[in-house]
Chain A
Amino acid sequence: MPSPTPRLTIRHGRLIDPQNGRDEITDIVLEDGRVASIGPVDAPTGPVMDAEGCLVVPGLIDPHVHLREPGQEDKETIATGAASAVNGGFTTVCCMPNTNPTLDDEGRVEFVHQQARRAGLCNVFAVGAATKGRRGEELAEMALMAKAGAVAFSDDGCAVADAAVMDQALRYGAMTGLAFMQHCEDPRLGGGDMNAGTLATELGLKGWPAVAEALTFQRDVLLCAAQGYAPRYHAQHITAGGVVDLLRQARAAAAAAGHPGRISGEVSPHHLLLTEDACADYDTNAKMNPPLRTAADVAALVAGVADGTITVLATDHAPHTAEEKALEFSAAPYGIVGLDCALPLYVEALVHSGAIDWPRLIELMTATPAELCGLTSKGHLAVGADADVTVIDPDAAWTINVNDFASKARNCPFNGRAAKSRATATVVAGRVLLCREPQRLEGLEGSAPAADGPALAAVAAQA
């Protein structure tokens, strides 16, 4: 990253730092890439951002994105993905290893981090593959990748299918202290076009039943228990109400065994807001893996967030080209982009619905993903923490428009949806990368920060 700004004071905002139990209107001073102080500042020196009416929170963290580089730069690059993150208020993202080649050795992990530095936007950390080539056969060089800065392991895109390989991956990976993030899907039972059920039958599309998710999850929980909960295990993008129940039981069992928090799960915005009905017109932007399920599943996922069973929010940002998504439903690739518009979708599904309050939402987007990825200086705003800050206008009313995204991709079923709340400024390592309302910023020297997604896309294009 370029050198951090010398000093930035963000004033008069509602500072929410769940990890440190803080929720008050106050000022925060960032200096040399760190949080320098918190508390009222009467006469600030240096640049000042007025955050009145806004929430000032630790920089949002997304532990599950696909940035496609290396190998599929026509879909997204690390730079454009990072720009998309900044546009959505994220200061840190963790990218999955299903690139070409796979992120399965330390050189490729270093490549990701180097490209992120070159882009100079948000923090990008690599999640290393658990097995070589994500083939589920031989362990990847987990320890070397951990040393190179990988923050977790995953074969995301598919599960480690073989129980013996999974047992070894958990056992060996636990030595590094990093989490294992599992894409829970039995490969033979899953893999269909959409949720298995009446609609799939009617449409003539292959079904991907919820039990295929539950089987892999429950197998993994049994392996973790058999290993005395030494592994830190995390279930990615949970979709099924039945798996929420299994996760609730597994977390209780781990806690009862003296290992609370060793098992966790995440949910994505689309699974909180959409059902399989979105597939009815063969809209390929409703084709996901794991798939959109039923209204009962959506309700169970929201309840799972509300009662503390699901503790991490993740977009599963999955960019694809327009050409690929223009294919027939069965031939089109899985996934949608999420970073640019995730925040108001979470807010709609979880805060406006009354399931949780703002501080808890912020916790699920900062402290808990930081814990998952071992990022101790991120996800909170104690003095000395990294100067990653997101300023959110909770009342901003706007309409999601894919053409305003900073991502290269446009595959998003939420285009045209009314949104309320938005990241109005994104600060990474003390640098203001996005500020939608320039009048809030005074005294900043040099060029003004980007004011919207297209401006961030232009920054990424120059990286």
Chain B
Amino acid sequence: MSSDDRYPWDHRHLLSLADYSPQDIRHVLRTARGFESISTRSVKKAPALRGRVVANLFFEDSTRTSMSFQLAAQRLSADVLSFSGKGSSVSKGETLVDTARNIEAMGVDVMVVRHHHSGAAAKLAANVGCRVVNAGDGRHAHPTQGLLDLYTVAKRCGRLDTLDFSGLTVAIVGDIANSRVARSDLIGLKKLGAHVILVGPPTLLPKGFAELGAELSHDLDAVLPRVDVVNMLRVQFERLSGPAFPSTREYHAAYGLTAERLKRAKPEVVVMHPGPMNRGLEIDAAVADGPNSAILEQVSHGLAVRMAVLFLVATCG
């Protein structure tokens, strides 16, 4: 089923793209490309994970990611368990590890976990015997979103054959500080050779990102003409602590991607957004639904990428 069965894949988990080499990332994306066609068949199912069990543990609200993982597992013929609920942060209650061990005891092969604490997926991986896929942990990492964004960039920018992003410039705009998507995108894009510009107000753009290999800017208008891809992040009001910006009005004026502002960019610029969108805040409807938008393609690619990840970690070793 993999595009290259000889590739020496040795990752039992996907916790962060930082743990994967550029070749590992390319292998996932090539594997995803092989799976993408399943979605266009009349019978949208492959037997790759028949008899295996995938458990989706979502300790934090999610709609598209949990549905995407669920469908990805089902398309591979795995049995799927889904759990959603608020995570524990009480000292005497059942801990994340307890919950996971109980579910593992039912005979689970792969655990997909989303949690509001950074490091939660790594904690699980250290405490269970099954495979772990991180579906987002706090502000730390969202590696399958990173992979599907890479896939979308590759496809839109004609790099699907080489998976080499040299010469591409990608801007990621908005609440960088609180974004696990920005972190995973940055790591993945750098590994494939792209230049990454992080854009946002200083209160949402910690200087440490420069040391992680990004160019930093507070001026979206100045950055737009230089980029091939602009990825608009959701303002995460639930994660903001303190006054990071004065008003949504001012934020929109400086960082909202309007149709007018998009005229500054190259005509073929690709507009992405990890969703869910605050329409009218970080992105206007005309842009989100316009010809440059790859937003719904991202969602479709997410399915193929997650099938690839589940397949690779489940069948490793």
- Chain B associates with chain A: yes
Q: Which residues of A contact B (CB under 8 A)?
A: 188, 193, 197-207, 281-282, 321, 323-324, 326-331, 333
Known contacts A199-B208, A201-B208, A282-B123; 13 further A-B pairs (Cβ under 8 A): A193-B118, A202-B183, A203-B119, A203-B140, A204-B140, A204-B141, A204-B183, A323-B95, A328-B89, A328-B117, A328-B123, A329-B119, A331-B117
User: Please, which residues of chain B bring their CB within 8 A of the CB of A333?
Assistant: 91
* B:286-308 near A, CB below 8 Å: none
Residue of B nearest to A198 (CB): B208
Contact, CB under 8 Å: B95 / A326? yes
- Once A200-B208, A201-B206, A205-B139 are accepted as A-B contacts, the answer to whether A329 and B92 lie under 8 Å apart by CB is no
- Bound CA span A65–B55, Å: 44
**Among candidates B89, B180, B183, B242, residue contacting A331 with C-beta atoms closer than 8 Å:** B89
Bound-complex Cα distance A193 to B117 (A) = 11
Residue of A nearest to B142 (CB): A204
B208 near A202: Cβ-Cβ < 8 Å: yes
Residue of B nearest to A202 (CB): B212
B157 within 8 A of A: no
Nearest 9 CB-CB pairs, A to B?
A: A204-B140, A204-B139, A282-B119, A198-B208, A201-B208, A328-B117, A204-B118, A331-B89, A198-B211
Please tell me which one of the listed residues B96, B206, B212 contacts residue A328 in the complex, with CB atoms under 8 A apart. Answer: B96
Shortest distance from the beta carbon of B121 to any chain A beta carbon, whole Å: 10
Q: Are B115 and A328 in contact (CB under 8 A)?
A: yes
Choose among B89, B97, B180, B241 the residue that contacts A204 (Cβ–Cβ < 8 A): B180
Cα A190 to Cα B140 with chains together (Å): 20
Q: Which residues of A contact B91 (CB under 8 A)?
A: 321, 323-324, 327, 333
User: In the complex, which of the residues A201, A206, A281 contacts B212, with contact meaning CB atoms closer than 8 Å?
Assistant: A201
B-side contacts of A323, CB under 8 Å: 91-92, 95
- Are B138 and A330 touching (Cβ within 8 A)? yes
| Closest chain B CB from A100 CB (angstroms) | 14
Q: Which residues of B contact A201 (CB under 8 A)?
A: 177, 206, 208-209, 212
Residue among A197, A323, A328 having the largest count of chain B Cβ atoms under 10 Å: A328
Whether B25 sits at the interface, judged by CB under 8 Å, is no
Give A323 to B209 CA distance when docked, in angstroms: 34
A281: chain B residues at CB < 8 Å are 122
B binding-site residues for A, Cβ under 8 Å: 88-89, 91-92, 95-97, 115, 117-120, 122-123, 137-141, 177, 180, 183, 206, 208-209, 211-212, 241-242
When chains A and B are docked, how far (Å) is the Cα of A90 from the Cα of B105? 47
Q: Smallest CB–CB gap between B198 and chain A, Å?
A: 11
Q: Which of B88, B92, B96, B118 has the most CB of A within 10 A?
A: B118
Per the bound structure, the CA–CA distance linking A199 and B242 in Å amounts to 22
Contact partners of A328 in chain B: CB under 8 A: 89, 96, 115, 117-120, 123
Min C-beta distance of B169 to chain A, whole Å: 22
B122: chain A residues within 8 A (beta carbon): 281-282
Give the residues in chain B near A197, CB-CB below 8 Å: 208
Report the Cα distance A413→B61, complex, angstroms. Answer: 34
User: Within the assembled complex, what's the spacing in Å between the Cα atoms of A201 and B140?
Assistant: 8
- What separation, in Å, do the CA atoms of A135 and B183 have in the docked complex? 38
Closest approach, in angstroms, between the C-beta of B16 and any C-beta of chain A?
9
Given the interface pairs A203-B140, A204-B137, the reply to whether A327 lies near B89 with Cβ below 8 Å is yes
What B residues does A326 contact at CB under 8 A?
A: 95, 97
What residues of A have a CB within 8 angstroms of the CB of B211 in the complex?
198
The distance from the CB of A128 to the nearest CB of chain B, in whole angstroms, is 27
Q: Which residues of B contact A329 (CB under 8 A)?
A: 117-119
What is the CB-to-nearest-CB distance from B212 to chain A, in angstroms, rounded to a whole number? 6
A161 and B119 CA atoms in complex are apart in Å by 31
Question: What residue of chain A has the Cβ atom nearest to residue B89's Cβ?
Answer: A331
Interface-central residue, A188, A324, A327, by most chain B CB under 10 Å: A327
With CB as the reference atom, state the residue of chain A lying closest to B115: A328
Chain A residues near B241 (CB-CB < 8 A):
206
Which A residues are in CB contact (< 8 Å) with B97? 326
**Contact A188/B183 with A202-B212, A204-B118, A282-B119 known, Cβ cut-off 8 Å:** no
Complex CA gap A281/B96 in Å reads 17
Most chain B beta-carbon neighbours within 10 Å: one of A188, A204, A330: A204
Output the nearest chain B residue to A329 by Cβ-Cβ distance. B119
Residues from chain A with Cβ under 8 Å of B88 in the complex: 327, 331
Least CB distance from B86 to A in Å reads 13
Instruction: Enumerate chain B residues within 8 angstroms of A204, measured Cβ to Cβ.
Output: 118-119, 137-141, 180, 183
Q: Which residues of A contact B183 (CB under 8 A)?
A: 202, 204
Chain A contacts of B138 at CB under 8 A? 204-205, 330
Q: How far is the CB of B213 from chain A (nearest CB, A)?
A: 11
- Rounded to whole angstroms, the CA-CA distance of A408 and B257 in the bound complex is 57
Residue among B95, B117, B180, B242 having the largest count of chain A Cβ atoms under 10 Å: B117
Bound CA–CA A201/B186 (angstroms): 12
Sampled A-B contacts (30; CB under 8 Å): A193-B118, A197-B208, A201-B208, A201-B209, A202-B208, A202-B212, A204-B138, A204-B139, A204-B140, A204-B141, A205-B118, A206-B241, A207-B206, A282-B118, A282-B119, A282-B122, A323-B92, A323-B95, A324-B91, A326-B95, A327-B88, A328-B89, A328-B115, A328-B119, A328-B120, A329-B117, A329-B119, A331-B88, A331-B89, A331-B117
How many angstroms between the C-alpha atoms of A329 and B117 in the bound complex? 7
Measured CA separation A205–B141 after assembly (Å): 11
CA distance A282 to B127 in the complex (A): 13
Are the C-beta atoms of A203 and B118 separated by less than 8 Å? yes
How far is it, in angstroms, between the C-alpha of A61 and the C-alpha of B90 when the chains are bound? 35
